[in-house]
């Protein structure tokens, strides 16, 4: 059941109607959320429901056990000593809980990668294949399907355990926690949502007003048009270029890279729009996940505006515990590199994701060094504030972002290396060009580039309206435009559609 399918629309409508028809009893509504979430996930991978339920119960019990006990400064020495012992035991329990969640993630997602890497290193150093490891890796790849949503599920679980240990959240009932963990709008691809946000909103719900309903449906409609009409169209070109990289010329590959950058943003931000709109129909506000990232003028700014909930998680639960920027410039740069390497491998079990994360980590470290130099040099700081400096910073940032998307799209280093080596002066296969531009797409490269430039102009206009002028469409106009948006998708979207990109992560 895909977000942009008619079946999901009917499912969401039925759930929302029943949800608000139920008397204002939290337990009944939570039961409905849980039941509908199980139905939703069953339409995708029913056989993993017991796994997620078991892990949810374990994490809930761990969270209750980790809640800190109150200690008084006037307490006797024996009680103070006991408090310290309990605190130490809870630190060990926290470590075990985090390890358990990571072990589940690694067990399902990374075993073939580890086995294949070991076999590859063994063959490189000895000259002989390690057949047992290779066969085991292939068997796991052929027989083990990665549970959808396991990466987002794991990060939310770790955040819950850490926040429980710090005493920053109130541990609710098992029903509340299970409904939060399996909440279908965010379950598969986020946004990563703190438990206390969900818990607070459960307590403060009221039936949505007409303007709130129009905003929710508007978000869903915009998400559909981003995904079905724009991202899937771009995906056709991307698949043709990167699936036939050895036959594509430099112009084809550059078009593919630009198209993939747009496709990835529109696909994932469209998903988040639909997730937020779906949750809003049930009285929940999920966090924003994108804030015009392709208008960032530094890589640091990009990561504050791209996949914002992931960036926030990385800062709060990895970067700050490592010392953040309080441990000197060298340690700060190494912390940035470590965090981004983890972000890379979190996205997928392949060397390309590690390279992607490492390059972003190096770029963040370089940005930090540039900031330090700029503070020491008034002329350099003035240059970066000049319109020409801002434009240069934007160009360098986005060039780095779009080029590293190659490793994201082709995590096999042999394939991504082939694309990068053919970016300049490589003549493509004439038959390939005819098949792509004349046979499949019906547009030549210049026309495709013009269409992507028009798309960029629309994004720029939207950015100027929302961020510069601070203007928003009123809900009456949105209500009028929603049928037109959905009609355009029905008439113009390609048949079939492509799966959501972030379902793989």
Q: Which residues are catalytic?
A: 347
| DSSP structure string for 276-314 | HHHHHHTT--PPP--S-GGG-SSHHHHHHHSSHHHHHHH
Phi then psi dihedrals of residue 300, to 5 deg: -65, -45
Using CA atoms, how far residue 440 sits from 183, 337, 362, in Å, is 39, 42, 39
Maximum Cα interatomic distance, the chain, rounded to a whole number of Å = 85
Answer whether 182's CB lies under 8 Å from 220's CB: no
Listed in sequence order, the DSSP H helices in 195-291 are 195-203, 210-224, 232-243, 250-281
What per-residue string of b and e applies to 135-147 under the rule 16 or more CB within 10 Å gives b?
Answer: ebbeebeeeeebb
Residues 6+ apart with CB under 8 A from 139: none
In whole angstroms, what is the distance from residue 463 CA to residue 459 CA? 6
177 burial level (CB within 10 Å; 0-12, 13-18, 19+):
buried
Show the tokens assigned to 400: 């780095």
SS3 state at 472: coil
Residues 264, 404: contact at Cβ < 8 Å? no
Read off the DSSP letter of residue 127: S
List C-alpha distances in Å: 459 to 71, 84, 187, 258: 54, 55, 28, 14
- How long a stretch of residues is the chain? 505
At which residue do the structure tokens 């994932």 appear? 268
In 3D, which of 324, 335, 307, 346 has the Cα closest to residue 113?
346
| Alpha carbon 135 to chain centroid, angstroms | 32
**Which parts of 122-205 are beta strand (E)?**
none
C-beta of residue 218 within 8 angstroms of C-beta of residue 182: no
SS3 428: coil
CA distance 294 to 315: 21
Cis peptide upstream of residue 191 (ω within 30 degrees of 0): yes
Contact between 219 and 271 (Cβ < 8 Å): no
């Amino acid at each position: 059941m895909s977000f942009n399918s008619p079946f999901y629309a009917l499912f969401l409508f039925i759930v929302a109607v029943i949800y608000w028809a139920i008397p204002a009893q939290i337990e009944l509504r939570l039961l409905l959320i849980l039941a509908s979430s199980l139905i939703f996930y069953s339409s995708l991978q029913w056989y993993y429901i017991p796994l997620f339920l078991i892990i949810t119960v374990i994490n809930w019990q761990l969270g209750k056990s980790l809640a800190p006990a109150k200690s008084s400064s006037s307490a006797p020495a024996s009680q103070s000593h006991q408090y310290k012992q309990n605190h130490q035991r809870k630190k060990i329990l926290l470590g075990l809980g985090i390890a358990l969640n990571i072990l589940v993630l690694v067990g399902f997602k990374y075993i073939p990668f580890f086995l294949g890497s070991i076999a590859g290193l063994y063959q490189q150093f000895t000259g002989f294949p390690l057949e047992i490891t290779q066969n085991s890796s292939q068997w796991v790849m052929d027989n083990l399907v990665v549970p959808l949503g396991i990466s987002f599920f794991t990060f939310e679980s770790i955040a819950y355990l850490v926040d429980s240990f710090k005493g920053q959240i109130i541990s609710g009932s098992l029903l509340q926690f299970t409904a939060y963990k399996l909440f279908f709008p965010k379950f598969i691809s986020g946004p990563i949502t703190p438990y206390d946000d969900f818990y607070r909103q459960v307590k403060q719900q009221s039936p949505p007003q007409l303007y709130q309903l129009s905003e929710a449906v508007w978000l869903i409609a915009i998400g559909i048009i981003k995904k079905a009409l724009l991202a899937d169209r771009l995906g056709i070109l991307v698949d043709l270029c990167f699936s036939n990289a050895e036959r594509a010329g430099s112009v084809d590959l550059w078009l593919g890279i630009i198209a993939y950058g747009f496709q990835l943003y529109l696909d994932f931000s469209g998903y988040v729009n639909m997730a937020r709109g779906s949750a809003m129909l049930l009285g929940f506000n999920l966090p924003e996940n994108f804030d015009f990232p392709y208008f960032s003028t530094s890589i640091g700014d990009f990561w504050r505006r791209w996949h914002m909930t992931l960036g926030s998680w990385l800062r709060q639960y990895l970067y700050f515990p490592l010392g953040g920027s309080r441990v000197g410039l060298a340690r700060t740069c190494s912390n940035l590199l470590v965090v981004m390497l983890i972000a890379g491998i979190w996205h997928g079990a392949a060397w390309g994701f590690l390279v992607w994360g490492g390059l972003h980590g190096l770029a963040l470290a370089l940005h930090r060094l540039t900031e330090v130099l700029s503070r020491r040099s008034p002329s350099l700081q003035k240059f970066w504030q000049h319109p020409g400096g801002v434009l240069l910073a934007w160009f360098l940032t986005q060039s780095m972002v779009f080029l590293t998307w190659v490793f994201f799209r082709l995590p096999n280093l042999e394939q991504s290396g082939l694309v990068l080596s053919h970016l300049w002066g490589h003549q493509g296969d004439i038959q390939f060009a005819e098949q792509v531009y004349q046979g499949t797409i019906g547009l030549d490269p210049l026309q495709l580039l013009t269409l992507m430039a028009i798309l960029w102009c629309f994004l720029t206009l939207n950015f100027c309206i929302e961020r510069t002028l601070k203007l928003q469409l009123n809900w009456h106009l949105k209500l009028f435009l929603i049928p037109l948006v959905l009609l355009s998708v029905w008439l113009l979207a390609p048949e079939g559609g492509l799966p959501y990109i972030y379902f793989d992560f």
